[in-house]
Amino acid sequence: MNKIVVDIDHLADLARLELTDEEKATIAPQLESILAYVGKLAEVDTSEVSPAAYITEAKNVFRADDIKECDPEIRARAVEAFPKKVGSALSVPGIFEERTE
Amino acid sequence: MELSNLTIAEAKAKLVAKEISATDLVSDCVKQIEAHDEEVHAFLEVFKDDAFAQARIVDKKRTAGEELPELAGIPIGIKDNLLMAGKRATAGAQILEHHTAAYDATVVKRLKDAGAVLMGRLNMDDAAMGSSTETSHFGPTKNPWDLSRVPGGSSGGPAASTASRCVLGAFGTDTGGSIRQPASLCGVVGMKPTYGRVSRYGMIALSSSLDQIGPFARTVEDAATLLRIIEGRDEMDATSSYLDETTLAEFLKFEDVKGLRIGVPKEYFIDGMEAEVEKRVREVIALLESHGAEISEVSLPRTNVALEAYYIIQPAEASSNLARYDGMRYGLRATGESLADTYKITRGEGFGREVKRSIMTGTFVLSAGYVDAYYKKALAVRQLIREDFDKVLKSVDVILTPTSPTTAWPLGDKMNDPIKMYLADIFTVSVNLAGLPGISIPCGFANGLPVGFQLIGKAFDEATLFRVGHFYQSITEWHKASPWDK
């Protein structure tokens, strides 16, 4: 496999990850060496196999979509863990940059 | 000190006979923690008050003649990626530094129901990424056998606390060797169960198709006891399996290994592995053979590409799992100009170097243009690895290998070379890729440092691993060695 040149800024954007210049300088060559290393897989003949995402024989499980009460203590702790809240509601930044109301 | 040296089986017998109280036992473990953990740093937090309170409850019930559950009064440690309601849960990561768990992991709930005394939260690599516990945001754990060396990882805290006699057993998680490798480096027993044997509900996920929770203990018998408490179907984890009722006696019923077919894969004795490590493992093979086991050389030809497949699949799944740490519902939240900036800054501040590199790797192998050549290719190789194991496990009952190619290495030695660090897991990752059970058992020392061997079995055949391991410990003494006896 050819040497991969990583576009570190594009990748960091995709990953929603801010990296300092120093981190980019460290991570980019490490990533390239990791990709060169794992690229060895290209040599394995997999033309006859189907990819295995899961390795167990487990089948999908279905259940009724019943609404269950949350334990009040669990609920209180989950609310307590919100980084920002209004009353017991989770407060998040708006997702639209411009509003037309 | 004396009581914390007991195995779980021994402590249980003494508790039931009322020779000791749960309070005595907890008290000795706390003394041991106070004597050693400042240096070893296996604990992120010790639940001293809770532990004594739980011990007193057990003692009171016992005095009153009440029937008590299986682990009543037994001090156990918990890796800090398993949620305990109302306690911090950091996964060794800065982004969760102040996070309090809202609920109990199923494993934790089952331990509480079994009466176990939860002694504290145990250190681990940042988000369980690492093989040495050096990437923890809260500082490294040291190997109790040599404080200048790593305990292995990512479950360095569970391994080191069990080895240092601060707890009688502990729970960790294993995605590519994170239970077995530190168990080997610290001289204790560590088991990764078959994928699906144990519910992952309430575990802070790293790589969901590879992760399993499993026990650390000083004996195979204790590991079997601990696994029985936590295993089995849980409706909160759709991948958890229905199991037949098992008893400890069934797990351990081997009296010898006559006629047991043990396969030794030639690919697991490689150049670059420490000669003394190989010697110790060869001694195990010879010993079992002298007791009637039938040893044969087997081949797992894709061993040489397992690590490559693993370091595509694991970061791919991790980059998806860690997407939830965006600062919205829990953890740190920074403020940026746009929402995208808020995500980026939050994650940039909250994740450590190793985690960032892994997220970037995972993002790359899943990105358009590369997903077929990397991720899908790795899944196909995973299928081949599984077929290799299936084939071999038709002709042998169990596979025996070294757990790690080396003993514990000096702190800092591999920190700047990810591939060198990855090679520490070369004998363990295949087992996760194939979803099989594996156990590491101490088998002596190389230059004063513990060595472990690994047994790999058929899916859901933990019993054979326990039986062989228990038999081995019944004819050897390695598991009795303590780092503090030197």
- Under 8 Å CB pairs connecting chains A and B tally to 172
pLDDT of res. B486: 65
Q: Is the ipTM of this complex over 0.85?
A: yes
Predicted pLDDT of residue B248: 75
What average pLDDT does this structure show over B91-108? Answer: 96
Query: What stretches of B35-89 adopt beta strand conformation (E)?
Result: 43-46, 75-79
Mean pLDDT (chain B) is: 95
Cβ neighbours of A63 in B, within 8 Å: 235
Q: What is the pLDDT of residues A64-81, one digit of tens each?
A: 899 989 999 999 999 999
CB contact set of A95 (below 8 Å; sequence gap of 6+): B339
Token output for B100: 């309090």
Query: Regarding beta strands B294-298 and B398-402, do their DSSP bridges make them parallel or antiparallel, or are they unpaired?
Result: unpaired
Beta bridge partners of B446: B449
Residue B266 is a catalytic residue? no
- Give the pLDDT mean for B7-11: 97
The residue among B153, B175, B191 whose CA lies nearest residue B42 is B153
- pLDDT at residue B270 in the model: 82
* Partners of residue B381 on adjacent β-strands: none
CA dist B483 and B164 (Å) reads: 7
The Cα-based distances of B34 to B31, B46, B48, B246 in angstroms read: 5, 10, 11, 38
Is B241 marked active-site?
Answer: no
Cross-chain Cβ contact A51/B379 below 8 Å: yes
Residue A99: pLDDT band with limits 50, 70, 90: low
Determine contact: A67 vs chain B, CB below 8 A: no
CB-based contact (8 Å) between A70 and chain B?
no
Q: Is the pLDDT of residue A101 over 70?
A: no
Asked if the C-beta of A93 comes within 8 angstroms of chain B's C-beta atoms, the answer is yes
Pairwise CB contact (< 8 Å): B238 & A17: no
Q: Rg of chain A's alpha carbons, rounded to an integer?
A: 23
> If you average pLDDT over residues B431-453, what whole number do you get?
97
**What is the model's pTM?**
0.96
Q: Are strands B294-298 and B261-265 parallel, antiparallel or unpaired?
A: parallel
Cβ atoms of residues B235 and B176 within 8 Å: no
Residue corresponding to tokens 């990819």: A51
The residue among B131, B104, B16, B126 whose CA lies nearest residue B65 is B16
Q: Provide mean pLDDT across the span B186-212.
A: 97
